[in-house]
Amino acid sequence: MAPRVVIIGAGPAGVRAAQTFVQAGLRPAVVDEGRRDGGQIYRRQPDGFSRSYDTLYGTEAERAASLHQSFDALKSRIDYLPETLVWNISANAVHTVAGTRYGTLPFDVLIICSGATDRLMPVKGWHQAGTYSLGGAQVALKSQGCAIGSRTVMMGSGPLLYLVSAQYVKAGAQIAAVLDTSTFMQRLAALPRLLAIPAALRKGIALTRVLSAARVPVYRGVQPVEIKGSPRAGVSGVEVALPDGKRLEFACDAVAFGYHLRPETQLADLAGCRFVFDGDARQWLPEIDGDGRSSVKGVYLAGDGARVRGADAAERTGRLAALAALHDHGVQTPGIADTDALRAELARFSRFAAGLRDAFPWPAKLAASLPDETIVCRCEAITAGELRRVVREAGAQEANRAKAFSRVGMGRCQGRYCGHAGAEIIAAAACVPLSSVGRLRGQAPVKPLPVALTEEEAQ
């Protein structure tokens, strides 16, 4: 009997995994929360929009077109479920909801390609209306064809900071400033690793040239101080401290910020996968082998949902995970792909990703200096001071204990946006290693569900 295959996600990893299974003669089910394939990086524009690939994706236009064409060719040979949320995973079954209908997809092989999301460090005032993550600002541009404001400040660090800033400039939006917490010396030190993928390095340099040509002011080594504004009018400006201590304020009506990306690991957690602490990245990640096998039999992880290494690497991990699953189920795959070559290419991307981590580090030290009144969990309006209080008065030195006492991470996002920063605040307040704080446990449903549901069993 051919194994029943379910793939979660139709981004670069999910598309290439599906393509590999089809080449092996199988018909996988592809479940995607998005309206159309492409994932976040290659998100397709809505019906009726006619912007060119070059306009939408810039230097990635050719790769985006290739992925979209590949998926279009697969549609008649897969079971495609768009606009469908996977809200829980149990033993050998995926639980979905589409609109007001829920279903259950049994599987022998599950490939989780859940992608990544923004990694955020709070700043005083980030709850003001008009504050977005960098990814959110990018979605507005790609899916709605609009900017998040008439005069925007881009703040944080990482490749996405420069990519989104350049995309906004090309779209004709006004950028008040790009404020980067990383320094030129950090980038210089990371250069040997960044040279692992020269083409990617050149693309990054090209983005900075776009900003320079548009005369967008770029400041490096800054420390965010406050996003200013009011409940009535929203964002009105951003204040930062320069390396020499000087304070600068930039007038704006919108802010997009973030610090690189982090894997979306909730589904891996619900599937029962074991996690390990990555001291270099300062985060808990699902344990996988070189081909994407998790600690749970039949469950494989691919793409940025397992390790953030970029879209090119995600395509390769999608193929490797599918090939590993086929091998584990005794399905022959002659001539489909060269696994040794894929692993060698992936090693280069891993080295480049390590270089990016060094060049644009997660600003962990900012957590200790956040004012007590800074909101950390926007869903529940939990402040840094409240987190420090439960550490000091209740002895809550573990993430889930702090959650029980303070409600941090109990809102709609379940800690996706506050979990990493909250752990850093707890570790700093308790004077303990970040690894000992642990991570917030995943709970189903991963996102809010409609109240009125009808059952529809998927065969």
**What does 344-393 look like in DSSP terms, one character per residue?**
HHHHHHHHHHHHHHHHS---TTHHHHS-TT-EEETTTTEEHHHHHHHHHH
CA nearest 291: which of 267, 266, 320?
320
Of residues 168 and 457, the one with the higher pLDDT is 168
Between the CA atoms of 430, 180, 259 and 148, what dihedral angle is there, to the nearest 10 degrees? Answer: 120
Concatenate the DSSP letters of all residues of 17-60 into one string: HHHHHHHTT---EEE-SSSSSSTTTTPPPPTT----HHHHHGGG
Same fold, 5-117+262-356 and 366-437: no
Spatial separation of the C-alpha atoms in residues 395 and 379, rounded to whole Å = 24
> The tokens of 358 are what?
């060094």
Mean pLDDT (whole number) for 179-207: 95
For domain 120-259, the CATH class is alpha beta
* Residue percentage of the chain with pLDDT more than 90: 83
Task: Please report which confidence band the pLDDT of residue 449 belongs to, taking 50, 70 and 90 as the band edges.
Answer: confident
- Please tell me the total number of residues recorded for the chain in this structure: 459
pLDDT at 458 over 50: no
* Model pLDDT, residue 41: 83
Spatial separation of the C-alpha atoms in residues 171 and 193, rounded to whole Å = 32
* Model pLDDT, residue 453: 57
What does the angle CA 399 – CA 306 – CA 96 come to, to the nearest 5 degrees?
Answer: 85
pLDDT at 80 over 90: yes
Spatial separation of the C-alpha atoms in residues 193 and 359, rounded to whole Å = 10
3-state secondary structure 67-78: HHHHHHHHHHHC
The sheet with strand 247-251 has its strands ordered as 223-230, 234-241, 247-251
For domain 366-437, the CATH class is mainly alpha
pLDDT at 47 over 80: no
Task: Please report which confidence band the pLDDT of residue 381 belongs to, taking 50, 70 and 90 as the band edges.
Answer: very high
Residue 37's φ and ψ, nearest 5 degrees, are: -70, 170
CA of 37: how far to CAs of 103, 229, 253, 270, in Å? Answer: 21, 37, 32, 24
CA nearest 336: which of 349, 346, 323?
323
Residue 32's φ and ψ, nearest 5 degrees, are: -140, 130
Contact 270, 440 (CB under 8 A): no
The amino acid sitting at 410 is M
CA of 70: how far to CAs of 66, 179, 321, in Å? Answer: 6, 38, 18
pLDDT at 57 over 90: no
* Model pLDDT, residue 454: 58
* Model pLDDT, residue 457: 46
* Model pLDDT, residue 407: 94
* Model pLDDT, residue 403: 95
For domain 5-117+262-356, the CATH class is alpha beta
Question: For 438, left (φ over 0), alpha (ψ -120 to 50), or beta?
Answer: left
pLDDT at 319 over 70: yes
Q: Are strands 5-8 and 109-112 parallel, antiparallel or unpaired?
A: parallel
Mean pLDDT (whole number) for 284-307: 97
Contacting residues for 260 by C-beta, under 8 A, at least 6 apart: 119, 157, 158, 159, 160, 308, 356, 357, 360, 362
Q: So where are the chain's domains?
A: 5-117+262-356, 120-259, 366-437
Residue found by looking up tokens 């209306």 in the block:
129
Residue found by looking up tokens 């019906």 in the block:
47
The amino acid sitting at 196 is A
Residue found by looking up tokens 């809200």 in the block:
87
Task: Please report which confidence band the pLDDT of residue 40 belongs to, taking 50, 70 and 90 as the band edges.
Answer: confident
CA nearest 89: which of 150, 172, 31, 174?
31
Task: For the chain, give the mean pLDDT.
Answer: 93
> The tokens of 347 are what?
């090693």
Task: Please report which confidence band the pLDDT of residue 110 belongs to, taking 50, 70 and 90 as the band edges.
Answer: very high
> How many Cβ atoms from other residues are within 10 Å of residue 206's Cβ?
13
* Model pLDDT, residue 39: 87
Number of alpha carbons in the 13 Å side-chain half-sphere of residue 221 = 10
Mean pLDDT (whole number) for 118-140: 95
* Model pLDDT, residue 48: 75
Entry pTM: 0.93
* Model pLDDT, residue 234: 96
Task: Please report which confidence band the pLDDT of residue 459 belongs to, taking 50, 70 and 90 as the band edges.
Answer: very low
pLDDT at 218 over 90: yes
Lowest mean pLDDT among 49-63, 165-179, 405-419: 49-63
CA nearest 111: which of 290, 326, 310, 259?
326
Residue found by looking up tokens 């869903």 in the block:
379
